[in-house]
């Protein structure tokens, strides 16, 4: 991790985890075949409505971490992603977290996730589970 992501004690600052969660979420969408840029170009966004995290162990300057995301809930207007942060070399669990989102249009009004995207998300999850990107 970068020095800028740490605090005065050399421990990762809590705000860095939020950025890492977002990067993992965007990478997950890419992995299932629905790039976030495509979702946004359709006039939709997933607006964050909730954020939770539980620290298990500190990450420090110089550590290499792995952040993974998965979709734990898919509803007509809402999604929830869960995250794990592990030390890349030791596998030690450093943090778990989750973000809740609502689907909004370009004016920021809550709207249903278009059926075509719901189907692509479900199909992408099945492909990931089967080991087929």
Does residue 132 form part of some domain?
A: no
Tell me the residue range of the domain where 23 lies.
Answer: 3-116
Q: What digits encode the pLDDT tens for the residues 74-112?
A: 999 999 999 999 999 999 999 999 999 999 999 999 999
Q: What digits encode the pLDDT tens for the residues 52-76?
A: 999 999 999 999 999 999 999 999 9
Per-residue pLDDT at 51: 98
Ramachandran bin of 62, using left for φ above 0, alpha for ψ from -120 to 50, beta for the remaining angles: left
Q: Give the global pTM.
A: 0.92
> In the numeric block, which tokens belong to residue 92?
């030690």
Region 8-15: what's the mean pLDDT? 90
Q: pLDDT tier at 6 (50, 70, 90 boundaries)?
A: confident
* Structural domains of the chain, count: 1
Residue 130 β-bridge partners:
none
Residue 29: CATH number of its domain: 3.10.129.10
């Amino acid at each position: 991790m970068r020095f800028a992501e740490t605090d005065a004690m050399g421990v990762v600052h809590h705000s860095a985890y939020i950025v890492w969660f977002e990067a993992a979420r965007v990478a997950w969408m890419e992995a299932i075949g629905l790039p976030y840029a495509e979702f946004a170009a359709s006039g939709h966004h997933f607006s964050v409505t909730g954020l939770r995290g539980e620290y298990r162990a500190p990450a420090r300057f110089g550590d290499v971490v792995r952040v993974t995301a998965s979709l734990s809930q898919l509803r007509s207007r809402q999604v929830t992603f869960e995250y794990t942060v592990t030390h890349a070399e030791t596998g030690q669990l450093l943090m778990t977290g989750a973000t809740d989102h609502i689907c909004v249009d370009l004016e920021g009004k809550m709207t249903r996730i278009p059926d075509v995207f719901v189907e692509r998300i479900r199909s992408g999850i099945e492909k990931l589970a089967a080991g087929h990107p």
